[in-house]
Amino acid sequence: MGRPPLTSPSPAREPGGRRSGAQGTIAGVIDPIPRHLAGDLTGGDPAPDDFALAARSTPLARFVLDAIDAAGGRITFERFMALALGHPEHGYYSRAGLAWGRDGDYETSPEVHPIFGYLWARQVEQCWERLGRPDRFALVEPGAGSGAFAVAILTWLRARAPACFAATRPVILDGHPRRVAEQRAALAAAGFAAEHALIDEWLSQPQRVTGVIISNEYFDALPVHLVERRGDASAEWVEWYVARAADHVDGLAFVAGPPSTPQIAAHFARLGLLPGDGARTEVGLAAIEAMRRLAAKLERGYLVTIDYGYAARDLYAPWRREGTLMAFRRHSPQPDPLAAPGRTDLTAHVDLTALAAAAGEGWHTAPPVTQAEALTVLGLPEALRAAAAGAAADALRFVTDRRAVAVLTDPAGLGRIRVLVMAKDAPLDGLRCLRAIEATYASDGAARGDERPEM
């Protein structure tokens, strides 16, 4: 169909996205080739681009092409993203040797500094109090990455809230066996006993728990449908599929077709809004289903979702023309989400309105706040002040701590991540992470209350 395929998710438009630092357009990322060298390289007849061949030839590419052939010529982008991130051997998140943190492909908040987990541990402790200090308190983390977030939360609870720690039953979940094994090893190395499971298996167990389900950048890693609405009034929906490229034997290309499922139109009917005419956007049906199942596992408690996302009216605002899908490799935004499948991280912002609705009956939702706001009221300024007191003795540590504060609250990066808090049979009012900054800090900047968190 007429529209050009999605070659550029416009990295500059959505800064941040699993990276704590660098932003920029592709033009800013690729240095121009010096003129004299370019002349040498580009003279003569045009030759096929063998470098492009190498870029496409990931071990996963073959499986994607097989899936396309088996499906009769095209697969949904959702299916492509599920393979690209989760193919059992070659998926981005499932493969051996996935590196986390600054040395890896991206740096999430728990990888920036343990203070992130320590601050959220304070919130977890308050949730436990609010639930009446249950003897068995489930602390569930889906999509636990390297395990760093869970380790930091548990470390703080063990040190600063021993009664809560004694009641806590950690449940660490992931979609991929290699990640589950690494998470088990990380928690064991830090001296923590936990239940480790594949998320599907845990969700399929009938028993429910009381406690907190807390996740960081889990939902934005779940596959999305790519769609486009056309026409003025209601909706003609077009879905973007992935097919073999016509111009390259092993290449992939976007092709448009009718929606693969009526759930796409139903999704927007439920929301009561439509994206702009001709705007490309994402529909995260997998994230909605994951939230529905997670919420159903909680008898009583809190769901804390920390993720790149917007309320539906912002995510699908008429001015947003190209959605939020982004591709990353080595901290750099990539222009083509179909390139190097399995070596490229793919992510799309979550629809916070749909996630909240997915939790279902009995759940209450607070208006989302930003990560910068939440960490501030959880005590980041006092933590930094306490760290500053020791700066003379250990300047390097203080510099590291100060960098962490800036990175975690950067309004153009991790600081703009949203925090969605939901509660079932438990009070939302007065939750620490939802307090207004003005109500938390006196005009002289001093915190109200007696807490002095440490870095």
Amino acid at 263: Q
Quick one: 224 or 426, whose CB is closer to ligand SAM? Answer: 224
Quick one: 223 or 275, whose CB is closer to ligand SAM? Answer: 223
Neighbours of 138 (CB within 10 A): 21
Quick one: 144 or 279, whose CB is closer to ligand SAM? Answer: 144
What is the smallest separation between the CB atom of 96 and ligand SAM, expressed in angstroms? 13
What is the smallest separation between the CB atom of 218 and ligand SAM, expressed in angstroms? 5
Strand partners, 350: 309
The rounded distance, in Å, linking the Cα atoms of 354 and 215 is 17
Which position's Cβ is nearest ligand SAM? Answer: 175
Q: Coil, helix or strand for 150? A: helix
Quick one: 203 or 406, whose CB is closer to ligand SAM? Answer: 203
DSSP conformation letters of 262-273? THHHHHHHHHT-
What is the smallest separation between the CB atom of 304 and ligand SAM, expressed in angstroms? 12
Asked if 252 and 338 count as a contact pair (C-beta separation under 8 A), the reply is yes
Q: Which backbone phi and psi does 96 adopt, to 5 degrees?
A: -70, 150
What is the smallest separation between the CB atom of 223 and ligand SAM, expressed in angstroms? 7
Closest CA to 110 of 185, 191, 183, 201: 183
HSE-up of residue 147 (Cα within 13 Å, Cβ side): 26
What is the smallest separation between the CB atom of 103 and ligand SAM, expressed in angstroms? 14
How long a stretch of residues is the chain? Answer: 455
What is the smallest separation between the CB atom of 440 and ligand SAM, expressed in angstroms? 25
Strand pairing category for 309-310 and 350-351: parallel
Quick one: 174 or 373, whose CB is closer to ligand SAM? Answer: 174
Quick one: 148 or 352, whose CB is closer to ligand SAM? Answer: 148
Which chain residues interact with ligand SAM by CB under 6 A?
85-86, 93, 108, 110-111, 143-145, 149, 174-176, 179, 199, 216-218, 221-222
Asked if 226 and 6 count as a contact pair (C-beta separation under 8 A), the reply is yes
What is the smallest separation between the CB atom of 176 and ligand SAM, expressed in angstroms? 5
Quick one: 175 or 453, whose CB is closer to ligand SAM? Answer: 175
Residue carrying structure tokens 């935004």: 333
Asked if 354 and 286 count as a contact pair (C-beta separation under 8 A), the reply is no
What is the smallest separation between the CB atom of 263 and ligand SAM, expressed in angstroms? 18
DSSP conformation letters of 5-66? P-----GGGS--SS-SS----HHHHSPPPPHHHHHHHH-SS----HHHHHHH--HHHHHHHH
Amino acid at 307: D
Quick one: 237 or 308, whose CB is closer to ligand SAM? Answer: 308
Asked if 313 and 426 count as a contact pair (C-beta separation under 8 A), the reply is no
What is the smallest separation between the CB atom of 405 and ligand SAM, expressed in angstroms? 18
Closest CA to 320 of 354, 278, 348, 362: 278
Residue 430 is classified by DSSP as: T
Nearest-5° angle of CA 429, CA 430, CA 435?
Answer: 115
What is the smallest separation between the CB atom of 399 and ligand SAM, expressed in angstroms? 23
